[in-house]
């Protein structure tokens, strides 16, 4: 294998690459075999979040050539699919990461060279606004340069289709196949500036006005207009649009974190710009305690995911996980749709298969149809597309802090999520509650669900092989019980079979194939196992539940569930 890798690297020394790139490749060939392998042992592939990887030279890294090959391959594929269009249109956006503007401009130039009309944002913008722009301008595709919440060394390339959703099968694999046919000499770098239109603040205003139309409780906001909201973009793209949308909704007391308003791809104030991590919210939480805020919000670098914190019964700030926030949002949306007499029987909500079943319980109570889709928001977008004109999407999301309401955006949207969660907090406060009180009320009504995500990081080529072997072992020799509870059903999304362990009866799973296993236990525990599509990890999603007799029993019952989760983790690790 090492000889093949060296041959692959040698092509970069002889091909049409810039001198600095060749210098770096030469260094790897002569001095760093391990890094050479990591850089060239494979080509970057589309996962659940598109193309994502470490920046650097090589076929397995993000650089202007892998970006260029992806764009040329995507352009070729769009040309095949929309050959009857007079001119194919695409939109291009980027986040705050190092090299993101370079990669976005490179992408735009290549599209323009292929005689595409290109709408390029003048500066960094949230990913959901890119999704909206595709639909607004009637584009056939789009690209956003981002690595979401990954560490600063990463960047990425998300490709979108004409509905504003990320590309899914067969398009994702077909785009990959197109650029795998190409060499660097095939990339058309001959920019046609006349084909590129720069987008400014005018599209921001149009998008924000659409988000404002989602408001369901204007009276509550009017009563709670001074709700204390602490917000941080963690150096990312939410810096302007989130405060703007909150003001547009009617909130007047928005407290920023100046140090984190600075758009910086090195993310100098955090270890990782991930709103799932408490450390990333540290500065916002400090400010919230200082001013006695009502709610804390933090968006990731491309502002498609949001993490929140609210005061618990002891007056201390508690960070909610993605399942809890998603449950609150869905409950609020359905409650207000019901109160506003908007439910007609043709509405639905959606979640991913690894997201809490509490959302299913809530939807069932409101007699609103619920769909489960594979992990990745592109599958929610695909469902919205399939139901368009027949059923109305109210909202939904995934446990990894991504949510959506309405149909005019087709990706998770932290801008609208911040607005609607602030509105939910105002509505709760107007009714004498906090969001934390509302969450416990939901638990009392529907059951106390507790989830935990366990990530096992396995880096590099060896790690990839180890993850593959772990999945194969779970698939061929599954456990019979976990933590003393029998496994009653196994769902294998790769074989698309759901198996009743006692009867061995098999039912076909009506979802695309995916390398995911789910174990359902006799005590209603659900454990999902899958390799990450964007990071070198294997993920274990563990969910337990029980009845909650009263609000007074919450802390004791929650502690029992936490202890149960500990035991389950110990039994499977």
Residue 400 lies in a domain: yes
Looking at the fold, whether 248 and 291 belong to one and the same domain comes out as yes
DSSP-derived secondary structure for 421-467 = HHHHHHHHHHTT--HHHHHHHHHHHH-EEEEEEEEEE--HHHHHHHH
Whether 209 shows a pLDDT value over 70: the answer reads: yes
Band of the pLDDT at 233, cuts 50, 70, 90? very high
Q: How far is CA 157 from CA 45, 98, 106, 410, 458, in A?
A: 11, 13, 12, 17, 23
Q: Report the CATH number at residue 546.
A: 3.30.310
Q: Report the CATH number at residue 439.
A: 3.40.120.10
Burial-class residue 3 by CB neighbours within 10 Å (0-12, 13-18, 19+).
exposed
Whether 533 shows a pLDDT value over 90: the answer reads: no
Burial-class residue 34 by CB neighbours within 10 Å (0-12, 13-18, 19+).
exposed
Residue located via tokens 């090195």: 266
Looking at the fold, whether 418 and 474 belong to one and the same domain comes out as no
Q: What is the mean pLDDT of residues 510-522?
A: 95
Residue 30 lies in a domain: no
Contacts of residue 183, defined as CB under 8 A and 6 or more positions apart, other chains included, come to: 15
Q: What confidence tens digit (pLDDT) does each residue in 65-122 have?
A: 999 999 999 999 999 999 999 999 999 999 999 999 999 999 999 999 999 999 999 9
Residue 422 lies in a domain: yes
Q: What confidence tens digit (pLDDT) does each residue in 490-512 have?
A: 999 999 999 999 999 999 999 99
Looking at the fold, whether 194 and 284 belong to one and the same domain comes out as no
- Total domains in the chain come to 3
Looking at the fold, whether 291 and 240 belong to one and the same domain comes out as yes
Whether 52 shows a pLDDT value over 70: the answer reads: yes
d(CA 323, CA 397): 9
Whether 404 shows a pLDDT value over 70: the answer reads: yes
Whether 386 shows a pLDDT value over 80: the answer reads: yes
Residue 34 lies in a domain: no
Looking at the fold, whether 49 and 197 belong to one and the same domain comes out as yes
d(CA 493, CA 508): 9
- Other C-beta atoms closer than 10 Å to the C-beta of 258 total 9
Catalytic residues: 148
Domain of 258? 223-445
Whether 349 shows a pLDDT value over 70: the answer reads: yes
Q: Which of 152, 179, 205 is the endpoint of a domain?
A: 205
Whether 48 shows a pLDDT value over 60: the answer reads: no
Looking at the fold, whether 326 and 413 belong to one and the same domain comes out as yes
Looking at the fold, whether 230 and 199 belong to one and the same domain comes out as no
Residue 18 lies in a domain: no
Looking at the fold, whether 175 and 240 belong to one and the same domain comes out as no
Q: Which of 413, 445, 477 is the endpoint of a domain?
A: 445
Q: What is the mean pLDDT of residues 284-292?
A: 98
Band of the pLDDT at 178, cuts 50, 70, 90? confident
Q: What is the mean pLDDT of residues 366-375?
A: 97
Looking at the fold, whether 241 and 343 belong to one and the same domain comes out as yes
Supply the Cα-derived Rg of the chain in whole angstroms: 24
Buried b or exposed e, range 406-426, using 16+ CB within 10 angstroms: bbbbbbbbbbbbbbbbbbbbb
Residue 431 lies in a domain: yes
Band of the pLDDT at 333, cuts 50, 70, 90? very high
Residue 212 lies in a domain: no
Looking at the fold, whether 329 and 298 belong to one and the same domain comes out as yes
What average pLDDT is seen over the chain? 95
Contacts of residue 24, defined as CB under 8 A and 6 or more positions apart, other chains included, come to: 56, 57
Looking at the fold, whether 441 and 382 belong to one and the same domain comes out as yes
Q: Diameter of the chain by CA atoms?
A: 71
Residue 22: predicted pLDDT: 95
Residue 32 lies in a domain: no
Looking at the fold, whether 423 and 453 belong to one and the same domain comes out as no
Which is more confident, 164 or 148? 164
- Other C-beta atoms closer than 10 Å to the C-beta of 347 total 20
Residue 172: predicted pLDDT: 86
Whether 46 shows a pLDDT value over 70: the answer reads: no
Q: Which of 399, 426, 445 is the endpoint of a domain?
A: 445
């Amino acid at each position: 294998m090492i000889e093949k890798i060296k041959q692959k690297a040698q092509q970069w020394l002889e091909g049409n690459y810039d001198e600095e790139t060749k210098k770096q490749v030469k260094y790897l060939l002569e001095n760093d075999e391990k890094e050479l392998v990591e850089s060239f042992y494979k080509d970057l592939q589309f996962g659940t979040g598109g193309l994502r990887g470490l920046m650097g030279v090589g076929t397995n890294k993000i650089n202007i050539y892998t970006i260029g090959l992806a764009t040329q391959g995507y352009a070729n594929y769009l040309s095949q699919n929309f050959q009857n269009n007079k001119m194919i249109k695409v939109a291009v956006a980027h986040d705050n990461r190092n090299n993101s503007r370079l990669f976005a401009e490179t992408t735009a130039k290549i599209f323009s060279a292929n005689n595409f009309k290109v709408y390029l944002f003048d500066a960094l913008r949230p990913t959901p606004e890119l999704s909206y722009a595709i639909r607004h301008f009637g584009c056939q595709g789009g690209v956003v340069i981002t690595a979401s919440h990954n560490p600063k060394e990463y960047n990425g390339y998300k490709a979108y289709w004409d509905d504003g959703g990320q590309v899914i099968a067969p398009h994702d694999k077909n785009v990959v196949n197109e650029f795998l046919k190409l060499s660097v000499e095939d990339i058309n770098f001959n920019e046609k500036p006349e084909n590129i239109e720069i987008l400014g603040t005018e599209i921001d205003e149009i998008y924000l006005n659409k988000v404002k139309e989602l408001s369901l409780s204007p009276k509550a906001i009017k009563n709670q207009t001074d709700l204390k909201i602490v917000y941080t973009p963690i150096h990312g793209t939410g810096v302007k649009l989130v405060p703007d949308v909150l003001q547009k909704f009617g909130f007047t007391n928005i407290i920023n974190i100046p140090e984190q308003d600075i758009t910086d791809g090195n993310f100098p104030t955090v270890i990782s710009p991930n709103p799932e991590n408490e450390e990333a919210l540290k500065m916002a939480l400090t400010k919230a305690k200082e001013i006695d805020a009502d709610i804390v919000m933090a968006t990731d670098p491309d502002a498609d995911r949001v993490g929140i914190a609210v005061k618990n019964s002891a007056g201390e700030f508690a960070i909610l996980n993605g399942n809890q926030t998603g449950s609150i949002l869905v409950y609020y949306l359905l409650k207000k749709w019901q109160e506003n007499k908007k439910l007609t029987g043709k509405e639905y909500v959606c979640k991913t298969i690894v997201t809490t079943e509490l959302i299913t319980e809530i939807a069932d109570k409101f007699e609103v149809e619920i769909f489960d889709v594979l992990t990745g928001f592109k599958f929610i977008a695909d469902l919205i597309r399939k139901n368009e004109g027949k059923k109305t999407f109210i909202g939904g999301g995934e446990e990894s802090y991504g949510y959506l309401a309405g149909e005019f955006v087709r990706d998770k949207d932290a801008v609208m999520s911040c607005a609607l969660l602030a509105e939910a907090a105002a509505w709760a406060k107007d009714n004498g509650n906090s969001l934390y009180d509302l969450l416990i009320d939901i638990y009392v009504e529907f059951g106390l669900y507790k989830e935990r995500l366990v990530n096992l990081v396995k880096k590099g080529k060896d790690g990839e092989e180890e993850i593959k072997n772990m999945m194969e072992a779970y698939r061929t020799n599954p456990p019979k019980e976990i933590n003393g509870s029998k496994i009653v059903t196994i769902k294998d999304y790769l074989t698309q079979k759901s198996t009743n362990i006692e009867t061995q009866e098999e039912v076909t799973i009506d979802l695309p194939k995916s390398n995911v296993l789910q174990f359902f236990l006799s005590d209603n525990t659900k454990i999902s196992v899958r390799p990450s599509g964007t990071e070198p990890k294997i993920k274990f999603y563990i969910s337990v539940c029980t009845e909650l007799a009263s609000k007074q029993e919450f802390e004791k019952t929650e502690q029992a569930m936490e202890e149960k989760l500990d035991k389950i983790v110990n039994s499977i690790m």
